[in-house]
Protein backbone atom coordinates (compact mmCIF):
# COMPACT_ATOMS: atom_id res chain seq x y z
CA UNK A 1 0.00 0.00 0.00
CA UNK A 2 1.37 3.42 -0.89
CA UNK A 3 1.79 5.88 1.95
CA UNK A 4 -0.56 8.87 2.03
CA UNK A 5 1.31 12.17 2.04
CA UNK A 6 -0.59 14.86 3.93
CA UNK A 7 2.00 17.62 4.37
CA UNK A 8 3.85 17.77 1.09
CA UNK A 9 3.59 20.56 -1.46
CA UNK A 10 2.26 19.50 -4.88
CA UNK A 11 5.05 18.08 -6.98
CA UNK A 12 4.92 17.24 -10.64
CA UNK A 13 7.24 15.17 -12.75
CA UNK A 14 8.55 15.73 -16.25
CA UNK A 15 10.01 12.71 -18.00
CA UNK A 16 12.02 12.70 -21.20
CA UNK A 17 12.22 9.77 -23.56
CA UNK A 18 15.18 8.76 -25.69
CA UNK A 19 15.16 8.20 -29.44
CA UNK A 20 17.37 5.60 -31.04
CA UNK A 21 18.69 8.07 -33.64
CA UNK A 22 20.09 11.55 -33.00
CA UNK A 23 21.12 13.82 -35.84
CA UNK A 24 24.60 15.30 -36.00
CA UNK A 25 23.37 18.90 -35.80
CA UNK A 26 21.32 20.24 -32.92
CA UNK A 27 18.06 21.68 -34.18
CA UNK A 28 15.55 23.32 -31.83
CA UNK A 29 12.30 24.89 -32.91
CA UNK A 30 13.24 24.76 -36.58
CA UNK A 31 16.39 26.80 -36.02
CA UNK A 32 19.84 25.27 -36.35
CA UNK A 33 21.88 25.80 -33.20
CA UNK A 34 25.26 27.16 -34.30
CA UNK A 35 26.52 28.09 -30.84
CA UNK A 36 30.08 26.92 -30.29
CA UNK A 37 31.00 24.58 -27.45
CA UNK A 38 34.23 24.57 -25.47
CA UNK A 39 35.72 21.41 -23.98
CA UNK A 40 35.74 21.66 -20.19
CA UNK A 41 37.26 18.29 -19.30
CA UNK A 42 38.69 15.30 -21.14
CA UNK A 43 39.80 11.78 -20.27
CA UNK A 44 36.32 10.70 -19.19
CA UNK A 45 35.04 7.13 -19.62
CA UNK A 46 31.76 7.51 -21.49
CA UNK A 47 30.36 10.34 -19.35
CA UNK A 48 26.60 10.43 -18.89
CA UNK A 49 25.22 12.10 -15.72
CA UNK A 50 26.22 15.36 -14.05
CA UNK A 51 25.50 17.09 -10.74
CA UNK A 52 26.83 20.25 -9.11
CA UNK A 53 28.11 20.25 -5.53
CA UNK A 54 27.93 23.06 -2.98
CA UNK A 55 31.70 23.38 -3.38
CA UNK A 56 31.28 24.52 -6.99
CA UNK A 57 32.56 21.30 -8.56
CA UNK A 58 30.88 19.21 -11.24
CA UNK A 59 30.40 15.50 -10.53
CA UNK A 60 30.29 13.31 -13.63
CA UNK A 61 29.11 9.70 -13.84
CA UNK A 62 31.02 7.53 -16.30
CA UNK A 63 29.52 4.28 -17.56
CA UNK A 64 32.98 2.79 -18.06
CA UNK A 65 34.98 1.10 -20.78
CA UNK A 66 34.91 -2.46 -22.10
CA UNK A 67 36.57 -3.62 -18.86
CA UNK A 68 34.40 -4.83 -15.95
CA UNK A 69 34.24 -2.57 -12.88
CA UNK A 70 35.47 0.45 -14.86
CA UNK A 71 32.57 2.70 -13.87
CA UNK A 72 33.61 5.92 -12.18
CA UNK A 73 32.49 9.18 -10.61
CA UNK A 74 34.80 12.08 -11.42
CA UNK A 75 35.17 15.51 -9.85
CA UNK A 76 35.66 18.26 -12.43
CA UNK A 77 36.83 21.59 -11.02
CA UNK A 78 35.75 24.91 -12.60
CA UNK A 79 39.12 25.06 -14.37
CA UNK A 80 38.48 21.66 -15.99
CA UNK A 81 40.87 19.63 -13.84
CA UNK A 82 39.56 16.08 -13.32
CA UNK A 83 40.04 13.88 -10.26
CA UNK A 84 38.50 10.55 -9.34
CA UNK A 85 35.98 10.59 -6.53
CA UNK A 86 35.02 6.90 -6.71
CA UNK A 87 36.34 4.24 -9.08
CA UNK A 88 35.73 0.51 -9.43
CA UNK A 89 31.98 0.94 -9.84
CA UNK A 90 29.99 -1.81 -11.59
CA UNK A 91 30.22 -1.72 -15.37
CA UNK A 92 29.72 -4.33 -18.07
CA UNK A 93 28.91 -4.67 -21.75
CA UNK A 94 25.15 -4.74 -22.18
CA UNK A 95 22.95 -6.69 -24.56
CA UNK A 96 23.52 -4.23 -27.43
CA UNK A 97 27.30 -4.13 -27.03
CA UNK A 98 27.72 -0.86 -25.12
CA UNK A 99 29.24 -0.21 -21.66
CA UNK A 100 26.58 -0.01 -18.96
CA UNK A 101 27.32 1.18 -15.45
CA UNK A 102 26.82 4.42 -13.49
CA UNK A 103 24.26 6.59 -15.26
CA UNK A 104 22.02 9.21 -13.65
CA UNK A 105 23.18 10.98 -10.48
CA UNK A 106 21.49 13.36 -8.03
CA UNK A 107 23.01 15.33 -5.16
CA UNK A 108 21.30 16.15 -1.85
CA UNK A 109 23.47 17.86 0.74
CA UNK A 110 26.66 15.81 1.00
CA UNK A 111 25.09 12.60 -0.37
CA UNK A 112 25.30 11.56 -4.02
CA UNK A 113 22.77 9.08 -5.39
CA UNK A 114 23.98 6.96 -8.33
CA UNK A 115 21.85 4.82 -10.64
CA UNK A 116 23.65 1.68 -11.84
CA UNK A 117 22.42 0.36 -15.19
CA UNK A 118 21.73 -3.17 -16.39
CA UNK A 119 25.40 -3.97 -17.02
CA UNK A 120 26.11 -7.40 -18.47
CA UNK A 121 23.10 -9.15 -16.93
CA UNK A 122 21.77 -9.91 -20.41
CA UNK A 123 23.17 -10.68 -23.84
CA UNK A 124 21.73 -10.03 -27.27
CA UNK A 125 19.29 -12.64 -28.53
CA UNK A 126 19.07 -14.30 -31.95
CA UNK A 127 17.21 -11.35 -33.51
CA UNK A 128 16.96 -7.57 -32.89
CA UNK A 129 15.06 -6.68 -29.74
CA UNK A 130 15.59 -10.08 -28.11
CA UNK A 131 17.57 -10.49 -24.88
CA UNK A 132 18.74 -13.60 -23.05
CA UNK A 133 20.22 -14.14 -19.60
CA UNK A 134 24.02 -13.94 -19.65
CA UNK A 135 25.10 -17.61 -19.27
CA UNK A 136 28.27 -16.47 -17.47
CA UNK A 137 26.32 -14.48 -14.91
CA UNK A 138 26.69 -10.74 -14.24
CA UNK A 139 30.11 -9.34 -13.35
CA UNK A 140 28.61 -7.44 -10.40
CA UNK A 141 25.80 -8.12 -7.91
CA UNK A 142 24.89 -4.41 -7.94
CA UNK A 143 23.57 -3.95 -11.46
CA UNK A 144 20.06 -2.45 -11.67
CA UNK A 145 20.40 -0.63 -8.36
CA UNK A 146 20.86 2.79 -6.79
CA UNK A 147 23.79 3.56 -4.50
CA UNK A 148 24.22 6.49 -2.10
CA UNK A 149 27.67 7.80 -1.23
CA UNK A 150 28.22 10.28 1.59
CA UNK A 151 31.40 12.32 1.68
CA UNK A 152 32.58 15.51 3.34
CA UNK A 153 33.52 18.75 1.63
CA UNK A 154 37.10 18.13 2.74
CA UNK A 155 37.09 14.75 0.99
CA UNK A 156 35.66 16.33 -2.15
CA UNK A 157 38.34 19.00 -2.25
CA UNK A 158 41.38 16.89 -1.35
CA UNK A 159 40.76 13.24 -2.23
CA UNK A 160 43.09 11.34 -4.52
CA UNK A 161 40.28 8.87 -5.19
CA UNK A 162 38.40 6.02 -3.52
CA UNK A 163 38.01 2.54 -5.03
CA UNK A 164 35.07 0.18 -4.60
CA UNK A 165 36.20 -3.45 -4.61
CA UNK A 166 34.25 -6.53 -5.66
CA UNK A 167 34.28 -7.61 -2.00
CA UNK A 168 32.62 -4.29 -1.12
CA UNK A 169 29.97 -4.91 -3.78
CA UNK A 170 29.26 -8.38 -2.41
CA UNK A 171 28.98 -7.03 1.13
CA UNK A 172 26.39 -4.45 0.08
CA UNK A 173 24.45 -6.98 -2.01
CA UNK A 174 24.42 -9.43 0.92
CA UNK A 175 22.77 -6.97 3.29
CA UNK A 176 25.64 -5.01 4.82
CA UNK A 177 24.24 -1.65 5.94
CA UNK A 178 27.17 0.31 4.50
CA UNK A 179 30.83 0.12 3.60
CA UNK A 180 33.39 2.77 4.48
CA UNK A 181 36.35 3.43 2.19
CA UNK A 182 39.52 5.40 2.88
CA UNK A 183 41.92 7.15 0.53
CA UNK A 184 45.64 7.87 0.81
CA UNK A 185 44.91 11.15 2.64
CA UNK A 186 42.80 9.41 5.32
CA UNK A 187 39.56 10.84 3.95
CA UNK A 188 36.59 8.50 4.18
CA UNK A 189 33.48 7.87 2.14
CA UNK A 190 30.41 5.85 3.17
CA UNK A 191 28.47 3.84 0.57
CA UNK A 192 24.98 2.39 0.99
CA UNK A 193 22.71 0.33 -1.25
CA UNK A 194 19.52 2.38 -1.47
CA UNK A 195 17.48 0.01 -3.61
CA UNK A 196 18.14 -3.16 -5.60
CA UNK A 197 15.66 -3.65 -8.44
CA UNK A 198 15.09 -7.06 -10.04
CA UNK A 199 17.71 -7.57 -12.74
CA UNK A 200 15.06 -8.66 -15.23
CA UNK A 201 11.63 -10.12 -15.71
CA UNK A 202 10.63 -12.96 -18.01
CA UNK A 203 9.18 -11.72 -21.30
CA UNK A 204 8.66 -14.83 -23.46
CA UNK A 205 8.12 -14.42 -27.19
CA UNK A 206 6.37 -16.94 -29.45
CA UNK A 207 9.68 -17.93 -31.04
CA UNK A 208 11.88 -17.26 -27.98
CA UNK A 209 10.39 -18.47 -24.68
CA UNK A 210 13.58 -17.53 -22.77
CA UNK A 211 13.41 -13.85 -23.74
CA UNK A 212 13.82 -11.39 -20.84
CA UNK A 213 13.25 -7.68 -20.23
CA UNK A 214 16.09 -6.01 -18.35
CA UNK A 215 15.73 -3.46 -15.57
CA UNK A 216 17.84 -0.46 -16.55
CA UNK A 217 17.68 2.37 -13.97
CA UNK A 218 18.65 5.66 -15.60
CA UNK A 219 17.44 9.05 -14.36
CA UNK A 220 17.06 10.12 -10.71
CA UNK A 221 15.08 12.81 -8.90
CA UNK A 222 14.63 13.41 -5.17
CA UNK A 223 11.52 14.82 -3.50
CA UNK A 224 10.94 14.80 0.25
CA UNK A 225 11.42 11.21 1.45
CA UNK A 226 11.08 9.65 -1.99
CA UNK A 227 13.44 8.89 -4.84
CA UNK A 228 12.09 8.67 -8.38
CA UNK A 229 13.94 6.47 -10.86
CA UNK A 230 13.27 6.12 -14.58
CA UNK A 231 13.78 2.59 -15.88
CA UNK A 232 14.60 2.60 -19.59
CA UNK A 233 14.48 -1.19 -19.75
CA UNK A 234 11.12 -1.77 -18.09
CA UNK A 235 9.58 1.45 -19.54
CA UNK A 236 8.41 2.76 -16.18
CA UNK A 237 9.28 5.09 -13.33
CA UNK A 238 9.84 3.73 -9.83
CA UNK A 239 8.96 5.51 -6.59
CA UNK A 240 11.38 4.48 -3.84
CA UNK A 241 10.77 5.10 -0.13
CA UNK A 242 14.15 6.23 1.17
CA UNK A 243 13.35 5.18 4.74
CA UNK A 244 12.15 1.63 4.06
CA UNK A 245 13.89 1.05 0.68
CA UNK A 246 10.60 -0.29 -0.67
CA UNK A 247 9.75 0.51 -4.28
CA UNK A 248 6.68 0.48 -6.48
CA UNK A 249 5.94 1.48 -10.09
CA UNK A 250 4.68 5.06 -10.22
CA UNK A 251 3.80 5.09 -13.91
CA UNK A 252 4.29 2.67 -16.81
CA UNK A 253 4.67 3.87 -20.38
CA UNK A 254 3.16 2.13 -23.41
CA UNK A 255 4.84 1.96 -26.79
CA UNK A 256 4.87 5.21 -28.76
CA UNK A 257 4.51 5.96 -32.46
CA UNK A 258 7.75 5.61 -34.42
CA UNK A 259 8.37 8.98 -36.13
CA UNK A 260 10.68 7.29 -38.66
CA UNK A 261 8.13 4.73 -39.82
CA UNK A 262 7.88 3.45 -42.56
CA UNK A 263 11.42 4.41 -43.56
CA UNK A 264 12.95 2.74 -40.50
CA UNK A 265 11.46 0.18 -38.13
CA UNK A 266 7.89 -0.72 -37.31
CA UNK A 267 4.99 1.60 -36.51
CA UNK A 268 5.70 1.60 -32.75
CA UNK A 269 8.79 1.76 -30.55
CA UNK A 270 9.36 1.42 -26.81
CA UNK A 271 9.11 4.61 -24.75
CA UNK A 272 12.51 4.13 -23.02
CA UNK A 273 12.10 6.81 -20.30
CA UNK A 274 15.47 8.31 -19.37
CA UNK A 275 15.44 11.90 -18.10
CA UNK A 276 13.35 13.06 -15.15
CA UNK A 277 12.83 16.43 -13.44
CA UNK A 278 10.56 17.58 -10.62
CA UNK A 279 8.70 20.86 -10.44
CA UNK A 280 6.41 22.63 -7.95
CA UNK A 281 3.57 24.97 -8.81
CA UNK A 282 3.94 27.54 -10.25
CA UNK A 283 6.48 26.20 -12.72
CA UNK A 284 8.15 27.74 -15.75
CA UNK A 285 10.09 25.41 -18.01
CA UNK A 286 12.14 26.70 -20.90
CA UNK A 287 13.45 27.13 -23.38
CA UNK A 288 11.97 23.79 -24.45
CA UNK A 289 10.23 23.83 -27.84
CA UNK A 290 7.22 21.55 -27.95
CA UNK A 291 8.86 19.26 -30.48
CA UNK A 292 12.42 19.44 -29.12
CA UNK A 293 12.13 16.00 -27.50
CA UNK A 294 9.35 13.65 -26.46
CA UNK A 295 8.33 14.21 -22.87
CA UNK A 296 5.45 13.64 -20.48
CA UNK A 297 4.32 15.72 -17.54
CA UNK A 298 2.08 14.54 -14.73
CA UNK A 299 1.16 15.41 -11.16
CA UNK A 300 2.16 13.34 -8.15
CA UNK A 301 -0.83 12.79 -5.89
CA UNK A 302 -0.69 14.16 -2.35
CA UNK A 303 -3.05 14.91 0.46
Determine the pLDDT at residue 268. Answer: 77
The per-residue pLDDT for 298 is 56
Cα–Cα distance, 150 to 138 (Å, whole number): 26
Read off the pTM: 0.84
Task: State how far the Cα of 283 lies from the Cα of 278, in Å rounded to an integer.
Answer: 10
What is the C-alpha to C-alpha distance for residues 78 and 55, in angstroms, rounded to an integer? 10
Q: What is the pLDDT of residue 215?
A: 98
Per residue of the chain (303 residues), what is the pLDDT tens digit?
Answer: 334 343 444 456 555 554 333 333 333 344 455 678 888 899 999 999 999 999 999 999 999 999 999 999 999 999 999 999 999 999 999 999 999 999 999 999 999 999 999 999 999 999 988 999 999 999 999 999 999 999 999 999 999 999 999 999 999 999 999 999 999 999 999 999 999 999 999 999 999 999 999 999 999 999 999 999 999 999 999 999 999 999 999 988 888 888 888 888 788 778 888 888 887 654 333 333 334 445 555 555 554
Element (H, E) at 48: strand 47-52
Identify the CA nearest to 139 among candidates 114, 121, 122: 121
Cα–Cα distance measured from residue 222 to residue 173, given in angstroms and rounded to the nearest whole number:
23
Q: pLDDT at position 35, please?
A: 72
Distance between CA 73 and CA 85 in Å, rounded?
6
Amino acid sequence: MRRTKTHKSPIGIILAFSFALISGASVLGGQTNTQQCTTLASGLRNPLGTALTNQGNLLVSETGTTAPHSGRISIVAPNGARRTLLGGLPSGINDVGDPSGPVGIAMRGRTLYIAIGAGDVGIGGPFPGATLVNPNGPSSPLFSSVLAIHFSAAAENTTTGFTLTFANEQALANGCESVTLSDSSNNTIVIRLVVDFPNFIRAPLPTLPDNIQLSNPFGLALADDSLYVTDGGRNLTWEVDLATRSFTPLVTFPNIANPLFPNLGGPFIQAVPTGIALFSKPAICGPLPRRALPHRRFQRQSG
